[in-house]
């Protein structure tokens, strides 16, 4: 995880040596709602981001390693205010593929929580080596004006090229040229309108409004609530978010359920009888995984997610 620190330990590196180790940064433009925020007191050249460590890293780092990371974070190029960026520091082989370590930087005036995001690794003359979906919520809340180190394992099964020399590499956000949209409008089936109390309806409305924006045209599944019923089945309430400009209908939907350990708990193919989610809306739906579809009998649901199988 921290192999890149070996180059920093022993002798105090110069700022120039730090900059040579950091690859070209991938920067997401400032969000529209951040552009109207009061300006922070920073130099005209940008925001200097301080080190922020996730608790899982805190417990593994020595004082010397923490100092090296702190120095490296301080010496990163100042970042324009209101942005999120990836600054790659190391790419090494991994049993599953390759492991890329990078600083995830937040130059805004408020903490940032990220969600599922596709990251890519480029090499040479911006050639695409691999792309993979990561749940960046695992990084935790990134404080204002800070840089958080994280390691990303890109699995071999997603490699688009083999036998290439990964020089001039870069880890980056997949920059589809699409604006971000927030499908805040909550749409309820008539049966749900009758069954839910006003408090439950308002809770779902606030949940839909508080979720991160998604890319225009993207369809996103958000986990809401899960419980086991008297029959042993798992009842998962999901919010289907339609960020496209057209209504979407689902006849069948394959889903996989994972718990906090990342293990698959259950899977199934759901017959939906033309479930329709209108353009730029979010619709809650209950998916029931029967006992025979459950692979893990004692899951850890302190954190969980449901997704469509890949491949």
Q: Does one domain contain both 110 and 215?
A: no
Which of these, 282, 243, 246, 287, lies nearest to 265 by C-alpha position? 287
pLDDT digits (tens, 9 = 90+) for 132-145: 999 999 999 999 99
**Pairwise CA distance, residues 13 & 160, whole Å:** 35
Q: Does one domain contain both 17 and 158?
A: yes
Q: Does one domain contain both 226 and 126?
A: no
For residues 277-288, average pLDDT: 90
Of 126, 146, 173, the position where a domain reaches its end is 173
- DSSP letter string, 68-84: HHHHHHHTSPPB-TT-E
Task: Find all residues with CB under 8 Å of 298, minimum gap 6, and list them.
Answer: none
Domain of 263: which CATH number? 2.60.40
Of 117, 150, 173, the position where a domain reaches its end is 173
CB 84 within 8 A of CB 27: yes
Q: What's the pLDDT at 275?
A: 86
Q: Does one domain contain both 202 and 83?
A: no
Task: Find all residues with CB under 8 Å of 236, minimum gap 6, and list them.
Answer: 223, 225, 226, 257, 286, 287, 288, 289, 306
Q: Does one domain contain both 44 and 10?
A: yes
Q: Does one domain contain both 124 and 143?
A: yes
pLDDT digits (tens, 9 = 90+) for 210-269: 777 777 777 888 899 999 999 999 999 999 988 877 788 888 899 999 999 999 999 999
Q: How many domains does the chain divide into?
A: 2
Q: What's the pLDDT at 180?
A: 54
CB 216 within 8 A of CB 243: yes
**pLDDT above 70 as % of the chain:** 82
Q: Does one domain contain both 149 and 191?
A: no
pLDDT at 153 over 70: yes
Q: Does one domain contain both 268 and 139?
A: no
Q: Does one domain contain both 45 and 107?
A: yes
Place 299 in a pLDDT band, splitting at 50, 70 and 90.
very high
Q: What is the pTM of this model?
A: 0.50
Q: What's the pLDDT at 182?
A: 58
pLDDT digits (tens, 9 = 90+) for 68-122: 889 888 888 899 888 899 999 889 999 999 999 999 999 988 888 888 888 989 8
pLDDT at 61 over 50: yes
Q: Provide the residue range defining the domain that includes 50.
A: 3-173
pLDDT at 148 over 80: yes
Q: Does one domain contain both 120 and 258?
A: no
Q: Does one domain contain both 206 and 111?
A: no
Place 23 in a pLDDT band, splitting at 50, 70 and 90.
low
Of 149, 173, 197, the position where a domain reaches its end is 173
Which of these, 66, 263, 48, 52, lies nearest to 143 by C-alpha position? 52
Q: Does one domain contain both 169 and 191?
A: no
**Pairwise CA distance, residues 139 & 30, whole Å:** 20
Query: For residue 148, with 0-12 CB atoms within 10 Å meaning exposed, 13-18 middle and 19 or more buried, which class applies?
Result: buried
């Amino acid at each position: 995880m921290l192999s890149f620190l070996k180059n920093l330990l022993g002798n105090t590196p110069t700022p120039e040596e730090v900059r040579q180790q950091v690859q070209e940064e991938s920067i997401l433009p400032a969000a529209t709602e951040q552009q109207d925020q009061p300006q922070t007191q920073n130099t005209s050249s940008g925001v200097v981001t301080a080190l922020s460590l996730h608790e899982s890293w805190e417990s593994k780092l020595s004082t010397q390693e923490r100092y090296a990371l702190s120095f490296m974070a301080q010496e990163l190029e100042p970042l324009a205010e209101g942005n999120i960026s990836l600054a790659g520091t190391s790419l090494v082989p991994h049993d599953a593929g390759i492991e890329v370590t990078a600083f995830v930087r937040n130059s805004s005036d408020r903490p940032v929580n990220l969600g599922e995001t596709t990251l890519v690794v480029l090499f040479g003359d911006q050639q695409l080596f691999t792309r993979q979906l990561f749940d960046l919520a695992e990084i935790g809340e990134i404080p204002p004006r800070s840089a958080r180190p994280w390691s990303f394992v890109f699995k071999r099964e997603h490699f688009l090229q083999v036998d290439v020399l990964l020089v001039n590499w870069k880890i980056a956000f997949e920059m589809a040229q699409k604006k971000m949209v927030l499908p805040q409008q909550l749409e309820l089936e008539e049966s749900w309108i009758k069954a839910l109390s006003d408090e439950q309806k308002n809770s779902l409305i606030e949940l839909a409004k508080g979720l991160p924006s998604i890319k225009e045209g993207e369809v996103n599944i958000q986990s809401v609530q899960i419980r086991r019923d008297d029959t042993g089945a798992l009842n998962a309430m999901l919010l289907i978010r339609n960020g496209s400009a057209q209504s979407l209908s689902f006849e069948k939907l394959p889903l996989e359920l994972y718990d906090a350990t990342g293990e698959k708990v259950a899977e199934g193919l759901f017959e939906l009888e033309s479930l329709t989610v209108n353009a730029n809306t979010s619709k809650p739906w209950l998916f029931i995984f029967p006992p025979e579809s459950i692979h893990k009998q004692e899951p850890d649901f302190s954190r969980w997610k449901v997704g469509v199988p890949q491949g």
